[in-house]
Structure 1
Amino acid sequence: MRSMQVAALALLALTLTEGKILLKRDGLPPAGPPQTRAKAPEFGWFKQRLDHFDTTDNRTWSMRFMNQSQFFELGGPIFVFLGGEWEISSGYLQTGQMFDMAAEHHGYMFYTEHRYYGKSFPFNNVSSDSLKYLTTDQALADVAYFITHMKRTMRGMANSKVVVVGGSYSATMAQWMRLKYPHLITAALASSAPAKAVEDFKEYFEVVSDNIKLNSVECWDTIKNGTAAMVDLLETAAGKKKLEGLLNTCTPIRTEEPYRAYLFSSIGGIFAGIVQYAYIGQIKNECNQLLRNSGSPLEKLSSYVRAQYGGDCVGDYDEFLEYYAIDNITEYIHRQWYYQTCTEYGFYQTTSSDDQPFGKTMPLSLNHHTCKDLFGKEFNVDLLRRGINRTNIVYGGYDMEVTKVVSVHGTVDPWHAVGLTKDLNPEAPVFIVNGTSHCADLSSISDYDLPEMYAAKKRSKELIAKWLK
């Protein structure tokens, strides 16, 4: 067994492990360094019901949270950073927009960990049966019960107003907390929130494509022509053997689905991750690295892919399944997020659009296979589509009726394509920031911000302040 390796930045789009890049394009960028005035937060545990909607089920579990009280004055507001599909850490309680707002308004800060992530597990495994309580409804109820308890039991909080803040999936949760629990939640700040569940998220790679082309047409052409050459090589045994050497695959390439699609997802996912979390100038820098390689587009692209793996071989679909089939909680796994996509959200990033450079190499069927192979044959297309339909009916998709919510997106972030792109109403504005990536607005206001980003952050803080009066 190859030794585990983790990508340089935790919780970014791609995780390199077991000699393969796992298809993980979600989560928050890491918070910046703590501000000099920031004190270390504390950890705590809160007992939650396993099933908030079945009063005959008395089972409970312990949810982890963090709290930071350094700015709090009695009666001040409560700020809750919502955990998503990751393990909580201290960063966003020591710097960033929420930290700054808590300082300004003398607020108390919490960071709640999402059920089934980090150390907040209802069961000692994440088998398909155990994961049935991993739903949006239950996760939102966890936050509602947590907030209610804290307001009742902590000194000076009985009449405190509550602001929830989230990024990526937890930004969607922030929007939906205000939607479903308006009597508890005063306002919400949602950074890079997907608003509508979709099965075929073809727009994702369209945005990746647009941003690559915007930085370098030659780079885009090289990716397109290199990918097309790889597709051609798979037509013959000799070509397949050549491609195995060019990419340094761990095992002989299998050309049937879903093996073929997984191979190309391992390539396309590299560029998806770069674009989604790009800092200013990064896409151009990466394109320059690709173009500096010698040879044909095929050779340039292959050399670039090998470099991204850092000397490890490129794994296949069987290795992916082996890793994500692990159902104990002693290892870091991301099986839980796949479960959520298979039962409620979809968000499957395909190449069914013609407006991207990867051909038709990543079909929707890859994800259909993944759901059944990871969780069981009952996790089929019908279940997926029923779950997506329910999510959009219950939470409203692009037509959610909500107020006192600020939503911010960056045009570089592919997730903005399924987010809110226009104001819902005067009290639910949407700020689209040109040239910025996933969750970039969660950081503190800085003189280094692009003018549009500076303005969006400033306006977000002003609106939250107005709604707290």
Structure 2
Amino acid sequence: MTTLSSFFLLLCIIAAEGQIFRRRYGPPPVDVPIGRASSPVWGNITQRVDHFNPADKRTWSMRYIYNDECFKSGGPIVIILGGEWTIAIEGLMAGGVYDIACENGGYMFNTEHRYYGKSQPMSDWATENLRYLSTDQALADLAYFIKYQKENVKALQNSTVLVIGSSYSATLATWARIKYPHLVDIAYSSSGPINAKLDFYEYYGVVGDNLALASSSCFEVIKSATSEIETLLETEEGIANVSRLFKTCQPINVTEPSRSFFFNTIADTFAGLVQYAGPGDIERGCFQIENATGSNVEKLASYIRTQYGDSCMDSYNTYVDEYTPTNITTDMSRLWLYQICAELGWFQTSASERQPFGNTFALDSFTQLCKDLFGEKYGEELTSFSVKRANIFNGGDAPEISQYISVQGSGDPWYPVGLLKNLHPTKLAFFVQGSSHSADLSSVSESDSTQLRQTKLAVRETITKWLAEIK
């Protein structure tokens, strides 16, 4: 999702500077109480590389985690779906999902998405080997996982199944309920994008809205500085000055897509600020910008430099060089880039008029990156076709689904591609003002806004009600 964010940051955010697609996805961080005795257990299940070709008998080992400390006979299976990150035990030891599971006597699992973490189906990440990295294959993994657990854990044979996801894995939770309703009884989507989209220009529109809400003058400083930088980059002297101010690793290349990459790197800093903002975070960032000395360009550059620390700002060519190699590494950005290029889109462009970054990174800069990383066929035509396919198969922004909960927040730039309104009594959408990405997945807290607290409680009550009705 690039969109799809931090997540978080969180278990999934990668803070590698200079990335157009800095990963803003994943579950929020979980604070496990000191002294908690129970510890989840790691497991593995054998999966097919290709679930849709019976003649292909290749297999691989998929990791998962489980915790049965709260399980009571007849309780549900509660599965946290992994996304574009390495899974960790904390989510099964505390937090909102843990609370829901324990309130209902649930048996908890956390599954790891194919190709991420240590769940590797292939020997490397060459483009031809990434063709099995798709939502179709990932959802089939989940289907076989549920079947396996029900067959091999006697106490779970008749258990109701609740799947929960955050960000991209919330997309999977939604689509799992649609595609496998006989296996998945309830789905809870936290900040889940459900409408695949080629040009996701609304993302930075929401970033702009939240910057302006925090400080209109901050928005104007960024907007003015961006315009001034565009002018400066028209001369050699200006290029040298901007490169120095923003501490780029090499002089800025003003040809495309390098020019777009530079501006998108600036915008990405604010996307990360907004997407996971807690109370006062955006205001503090704006205060830092507004109270810096110098021109608007100098104010903006000063703020960007503080986010990079001792590092310099990378170039487009360096970025491509970093994510072209096909060896398996702990940095999984190449994998998410492939998913958005090959299937999901969600390219976060500057086409919205509600953001302060000008029209400085258009759609073609993203599709060019896809071709540079994965080959010429991975251009706009392929991504556009794949996006349409995903929406046809899964319902787009109006899926036919029941026993489904979606939570979005006005502070989350992903909300425009999520479900925003109730469609019937068993397809519920909560929209929380001021809430950031997957903030609803934490336990109820005194620091929650009134609406966020009410939403968390309503989600828990609804799930408990549905579980009782299904049982």
Decide whether the 8 Å contact of 2:8 with 2:27 is kept in 1: no
Q: How far off its partner does 1:40 sit?
A: 1.4
2:150 counterpart residue number = 151
Distance 2:261 2:188 in 1: 35
Decide whether the 8 Å contact of 1:30 with 1:91 is kept in 2: no
Q: How far off its partner does 1:28 sit?
A: 1.9
For 2:254, the aligned partner's letter is T
2:400 counterpart residue number = 401
Q: How far off its partner does 1:26 sit?
A: 2.8
* 1:233 lines up with 2:232 in the alignment: yes
* 1:199 lines up with 2:198 in the alignment: yes
* 1:26 lines up with 2:29 in the alignment: no
How do 1:383-422 and structure 2 match up within 5 A? 383-422=382-421
Decide whether the 8 Å contact of 2:50 with 2:137 is kept in 1: yes
2:188 counterpart residue number = 189
Distance 1:220 1:94, change over 3 A: same
1:177 counterpart residue number = 176
Between the two proteins, the alignment pairs up a number of residues equal to 462
1:91 counterpart residue number = 90
For 1:33, the aligned partner's letter is D
For 2:16, the aligned partner's letter is L
Where in structure 1 are there 5+ consecutive unaligned residues? 1-5
2:278 counterpart residue number = 279
| 3-state SS of 2:256 partner | coil
Q: How far off its partner does 1:189 sit?
A: 0.9
* 1:309 lines up with 2:311 in the alignment: no
Distance 1:202 1:289 in 2: 27
2:3 counterpart residue number = none
Q: How far off its partner does 1:65 sit?
A: 0.3
Distance 2:441 2:246 in 1: 37
Distance 2:24 2:115 in 1: 16
Partner deviation per Cα, 1:168-199 (whole Å, 9 max, x = no partner)? 00011111111111111111111001010111
Where in structure 2 are there 5+ consecutive unaligned residues? 1-5
Q: How far off its partner does 1:29 sit?
A: 4.5
For 1:79, the aligned partner's letter is V
Partner deviation per Cα, 1:143-165 (whole Å, 9 max, x = no partner)? 11001110011121110111000
Decide whether the 8 Å contact of 1:195 with 1:397 is kept in 2: yes
Distance 1:272 1:38 in 2: 38
| 3-state SS of 1:388 partner | helix
2:213 counterpart residue number = 214
Equivalent position to 2:33, from 35, 52, 58: 35
For 1:177, the aligned partner's letter is A
Distance 1:237 1:11 in 2: 42
Decide whether the 8 Å contact of 1:38 with 1:94 is kept in 2: no
For 1:315, the aligned partner's letter is D
Distance 1:7 1:406 in 2: 20
Decide whether the 8 Å contact of 1:240 with 1:253 is kept in 2: yes
How do 1:24-423 and structure 2 match up within 5 A? 24-35=22-33, 37=36, 39-423=38-422
Distance 2:7 2:287 in 1: 21
Distance 1:417 1:13, change over 3 A: farther
Decide whether the 8 Å contact of 1:50 with 1:59 is kept in 2: yes
Distance 2:15 2:129 in 1: 24
Decide whether the 8 Å contact of 1:42 with 1:66 is kept in 2: yes
Q: TM-score, normalised by structure 2?
A: 0.95
Distance 1:147 1:189, change over 3 A: same
Distance 1:339 1:327 in 2: 12
| 3-state SS of 1:438 partner | coil
| 3-state SS of 1:47 partner | strand
The percentage of counterpart residues that share the same residue type is: 44
Greater mean deviation of Cα atoms: 207-216 or 97-106: 97-106
Greater mean deviation of Cα atoms: 26-35 or 195-204: 26-35
For 1:16, the aligned partner's letter is A
| 3-state SS of 1:266 partner | helix
CA RMSD of aligned residues (A): 1.6
Distance 2:227 2:444 in 1: 43
For 1:217, the aligned partner's letter is S
Distance 1:412 1:38, change over 3 A: farther
For 1:71, the aligned partner's letter is C
Decide whether the 8 Å contact of 1:14 with 1:270 is kept in 2: no
Decide whether the 8 Å contact of 2:8 with 2:28 is kept in 1: no
Decide whether the 8 Å contact of 2:86 with 2:116 is kept in 1: yes
Distance 1:206 1:328 in 2: 36
Distance 2:404 2:8 in 1: 33
Distance 1:71 1:28, change over 3 A: same
Distance 1:8 1:54 in 2: 36
| 3-state SS of 1:129 partner | helix
Partner deviation per Cα, 1:44-102 (whole Å, 9 max, x = no partner)? 11100111111111111000000011111222111000000000001211112210111
Decide whether the 8 Å contact of 1:7 with 1:16 is kept in 2: no
Decide whether the 8 Å contact of 2:115 with 2:121 is kept in 1: yes
Q: How far off its partner does 1:253 sit?
A: 1.1
Distance 2:146 2:210 in 1: 40
Distance 2:311 2:415 in 1: 33
Distance 2:16 2:162 in 1: 35
Q: TM-score, normalised by structure 1?
A: 0.96
Distance 1:259 1:468 in 2: 52
Distance 2:28 2:426 in 1: 29
Decide whether the 8 Å contact of 2:8 with 2:26 is kept in 1: no
| 3-state SS of 2:88 partner | coil
Distance 1:136 1:370 in 2: 21
Distance 1:72 1:340 in 2: 35
Q: How far off its partner does 1:7 sit?
A: 12
Distance 2:301 2:322 in 1: 25
| 3-state SS of 1:46 partner | strand
Decide whether the 8 Å contact of 2:40 with 2:67 is kept in 1: yes
Q: How far off its partner does 1:14 sit?
A: 5.2
For 1:450, the aligned partner's letter is S
Greater mean deviation of Cα atoms: 139-148 or 446-455: 446-455
Distance 1:333 1:266, change over 3 A: same
Distance 1:29 1:233, change over 3 A: farther
Distance 1:15 1:365 in 2: 25
1:445 counterpart residue number = 444
Q: How far off its partner does 1:21 sit?
A: 4.1
Distance 1:11 1:95, change over 3 A: closer
1:3 counterpart residue number = none
